[in-house]
Every structure is written in structure tokens, then in C-alpha cells.
Amino acid sequence: MTHTNDAVHPAERTEHCVVVGVDGSDSALHAVRWAAPEAQRRGAPLRLVHVVHLTPVRHPRQIPPPPEYEAALLEQGRHWLTEASQAARRAVPGLAVVTDLRAGVAADVLVTESRDAQLMVLGSRGLGGFTSLLVGSVAVALSAHAHCPVVVMHSAARDGAPPTDGDIVVGVDGSELSDAALTFAFEAAAARGVPLVALHTWLDVTMTGAWAVLPGTVDWDSVRRQEEKLLAERLVPWREKFPHVEVRPLVVRDRPDRALLEHAGGAQLIVVGSRGRGAFTGMGLGSVSHTLLHHAECPVAVARTDGT
């Protein structure tokens, strides 16, 4: 099924779909190819959205763009959506695909789309991204403000294609959003039939030098055992719900961002909450999720719940 619609009149919404932001970049096409089998696993339609910024901010002396310019932008958007839908069908023949051409600011439109979506998927950097930046501004904004989980494509492969094998890695810190990350990660591991690495760090500070002032008599082995016990207890509800998922608990004495990056090597997906323990509630993303979005070499899922 295909439904293409012009920007001024958005296509009829498909509830609980997997949504991909399309912008003509190779990264966006990789996102489509990753999202197509994900939509199939979820039994959901795939919704491909391209956002055209037709109307610039008005200024008293500004000359509006000619109609030909707007028509060219719309035609280019239709071409990119067609290209993306073809890529989706090659990845999963017979998949229900909806395409939608929208007008507005990309981040704002995609945040609105996320209200009805199961999952939002984006390339790490679009056509307009600076090559020195590892993730685009739209991906950061959507990860910070979406109403559902967001997956941002990253890859260490030369062609940029995201990995399709390897473990799922999830960061566990005991916060409510860590619970959201665990749910997403267990579901992902169960759907793919792969092991889940549940990683918890007990040096949860960014200034490791702070530990130098602690007494030398601290029993670090005892601390580690206690953290291992806490992680095991935290995993009990998910182990019971997903008994067939092989879980590999891992407790590391390190900063959470550094430990997750190190242990994500070879993973096909790394999952974190949008804000971890101790994050300021007014900030859209915590430092760990922000770091992973910029530096991970595999797709990063930022688990969110509506209102977080």
C-alpha cells in the first residue's frame, strides 16, 4: 500500500506505525532499510515522511521565493519519498508503506508525528549536515523531545549500512527511564533472537578524580558485589517476562558513557534512556544518551515514554 500526499494536506494518519524521516541522504536510506524489517517484526505499517521548509521567516524587506522554487522543492521531496519507498519494498516485499510530503520545520513535524508512532527512525546526519558533526540537529532534537522511542542510525561499516547481527546492549542505572530502556531492549532481543547485554556502571560520575579523595580502605570488591546484586534484582521482572532471552549482566567500574561505547563494539543496537539518574529534568537529553548519539558505531535507541 502506498499513499503519497502533498505538503499542504498531510496524508491520513496511520496509527502506531514506524516512522522514518526521509531527506534524500544515504543515511536516511539506511534508516529506511533498517526500519522496514523492524516494522515487519512489529506488524506495523512503515510511514516515510519528508518535510519541506517552504516558507522562510518573514522580514519586512525580504522577497518571497518564486513559485518555481517551491514547486522544485516539492518535486524533489516526492522523488526522495519514491526512492525511499522502493528501498523499503526491496528490503521487505509486500510491506505496507505510506509516504507523506509535509511543509514545516523538520524537527517540529517529526516530534508531532511521534505522538502516534510506535517508533521514530532517522539517519545520523542528513544532506545539510556538517561533515565534522557525527549526528545532525534534527536527530538530537527528536531524541530529546519525541513522544516515543527514537532510533538513530550509526555504523562502523565503510558503506554506512547499520549492522544486522550482534548483541543488543542496554544501559541500566535504576532510573524510571532505565526501565523504559530495558523494556525496549528486551523486546528487541526477543524479536531478533539474540543475547542481551545489560550493562551497569558503579562509577556514575563524570569526574573520576573525585574517587581519589575516598579512603584507601574502601572495599571495592564488596562495592562491586553489591552493584552486581542490585543489577540482578533489577533484571528480575524482565527475565520473568522474557524467559527465552539470553541475558548477560555486566557490572563495570567506569563512567556509563565510556563503558557503553566500549561494550557496544560489535553490537547491532545500543539502548539507553533519554535521561539517566541525576539528570536535570529541564534537559531534553542526558549526557550519556547525548554522547552515544554522537559517538556510537551502531544504531542508538533512545527509549522514551510520552511526557518524558
CATH number of domain containing 297: 3.40.50.12370
Residues 278 and 221 in one domain: yes
| 155 part of a folded domain | no
Residuewise pLDDT in 10s, the chain (308 residues): 444 444 444 455 556 899 999 999 888 999 999 999 999 999 999 999 999 977 655 555 666 667 777 888 899 999 999 999 999 999 999 999 999 999 888 999 999 999 999 999 998 865 444 333 345 688 888 988 899 999 999 877 777 788 889 999 999 987 776 889 999 999 999 999 999 999 998 765 444 455 555 555 567 778 788 888 989 999 999 999 999 999 999 998 888 888 999 887 789 999 998 764 443 333 345 678 888 888 888 999 999 765 55
Residues 243 and 183 in one domain: yes
Residues 30 and 98 in one domain: yes
Residues 139 and 251 in one domain: no
Sheet bearing 18-21, strands edge to edge: 97-103, 46-52, 18-21, 119-122, 150-152, 300-303, 269-273, 168-171, 196-201, 247-252
Residues 226 and 291 in one domain: yes
| 161 part of a folded domain | no
Helix or strand run (H / E) with residue 29: helix 26-42
Number of structural domains the chain divides into: 2
What range defines the domain where residue 96 resides? Answer: 18-149
Residues 23 and 107 in one domain: yes
Helices (H) and strands (E) counted in the chain, each on its own, are 8, 10
92, 121, 149 — which closes off a domain?
149
Residues 111 and 228 in one domain: no
| 2 part of a folded domain | no
Residues 137 and 216 in one domain: no
| 156 part of a folded domain | no
| 237 part of a folded domain | yes
CATH number at residue 65: 3.40.50.620
Residues 32 and 129 in one domain: yes
| 13 part of a folded domain | no
Q: What angle do CA 109, 300, 304 make, to 5 degrees?
A: 55
| 163 part of a folded domain | no
149, 177, 210 — which closes off a domain?
149
**Cell numbers for 120:** 521514530
149, 184, 208 — which closes off a domain?
149
Residues 133 and 176 in one domain: no
